[in-house]
Amino acid sequence: MTSQEHPNWLTALLVDTRPPPKLFAWSPANIQPKLDEGIDMGSSNSDEEYDNDACVCQSTDSDQRIYIIGPGNIGRLYATHMARHPNALPITLVVHRKELLSQWVACEGVGLADITSGKLFLNKGFTVEWWTETRPPYGPVKEVADGKKLHNVFISTKAEAGLAEADRIRRYLGRCSSVVFAQNGVCKLWPPHGPLYISHRYPSGDTPTFSACVVSHGVASAGPFLSVHAAPADAYIGPVFWASDPESPWRHPSDDFFIRHIATTPHVNTKQVSSGEIWLLQLEKLVMNAAINPLTALLRCKTGELFTSYGSDDPLALVIDKLLWQTSAVIQGLVDHKTSHSVITSYAEHMSQPGTSCSVPKVRKKLMERFSQPILKAKLGWEEDRDTGL
């Protein structure tokens, strides 16, 4: 692949030969030299549940700790319920602004209002850090993971910032690391660009496992460290890139500890799937992001309001149909492209019955139908036989 075929983000990283930066882990102690040991959490009632001890574990080693980078709505959802895991691990929330350290001190912790149960889950039992190249001028000086490797990393920033965050911390990533991207976007590490990026940024034999998590839960922000779980749904997690371990050649990405830990986290209904299936699920989520979400933002309405009119001459219906045709064409082009051969082959092998051979061309044809405009429209709740007028 020539440099002209590289996307801009990859070209910029390929020409970057600088070593990965050393990062300092600031804590609230670096903002306020002396903090009160106890923080008044107020009085609780029947609609509030406090989980201050849920994250307390004997070990604080980095190989046991979960690091949630970008604790926004999705990060807060998973942090809340990871803390309620039967085998809960210590959790560090990595914020993107220094000011959030002070806000953490002043707030009651991570709050998640569950609309279904009518409960407000509050948890102050997390460690909160801000990672920066700037050494703190006062307070304890601590490098990220004490200069060791991070094992369990959950990146829930906005999609466009996900890989940049992972690249910034690559000094602390290696073969022992499992990195999960949980965002409303397609992971950049799929072939053909992912393997090229990884071979450029990591030494051979010391590559992390990278996975993607597609989240369908409806979660809205209600303030710093506070979210509303408005629409419970489900989620899927699967591997994007993993390197075979010469010491354990029989190991499969489904054996990854962190993937299994997320899949067994209560109340978020996260299903573990194959690499090919998570690729397809990300593409399906892309349909919502490309055709529906921009319209709800532009028209300042809820998703359901887009489907109140089914008339063939309705201007909004025509716009949505046009967007779906364009989105379908792009995704079908990707499915049919030679660079997608490896992931489609992996998906075909996973879907084939034991003892039978898989037909990649047949699987590719079915996937082309899966992402056709009529099927996409049906999945969005529209009538397939409606005249589009296009």
Catalytic residue numbers read 285
* CB atoms inside a 10 Å sphere around CB 120: 18
Query: Annotated binding site for substrate: which residue ranges?
Result: 289, 293
Q: DSSP assignment, residue 215? A: E
Q: Are 70 and 96 in contact (CB under 8 A)?
A: yes
Nearest to 112 by CA among 17, 221, 272: 221
Sheet architecture: strand order including 152-155: 24-26, 127-132, 91-95, 66-69, 152-155, 178-181, 209-215, 235-241, 270-272
In angstroms, the CA 94 to CA 132 distance is: 11
How many other CB atoms sit within 10 Å of the CB of residue 36?
Answer: 8
Q: Residues annotated as binding site for NADP(+)?
A: 70-75
Numbered residues of the known binding site: 70-75, 289, 293
Strand (E) positions, the chain?
Answer: 24-26, 48-50, 66-69, 91-95, 110-114, 119-123, 127-132, 152-155, 178-181, 209-215, 218-223, 226-231, 235-241, 270-272
Q: How many Å apart are CA 262 and CA 56, to the nearest integer?
A: 18
- The CA distance from 110 to 93, in Å, is 10
CB 374 within 8 Å of CB 384? yes
Q: What is the dihedral of CA 324, 228, 235, 382, to 10 degrees?
A: -30
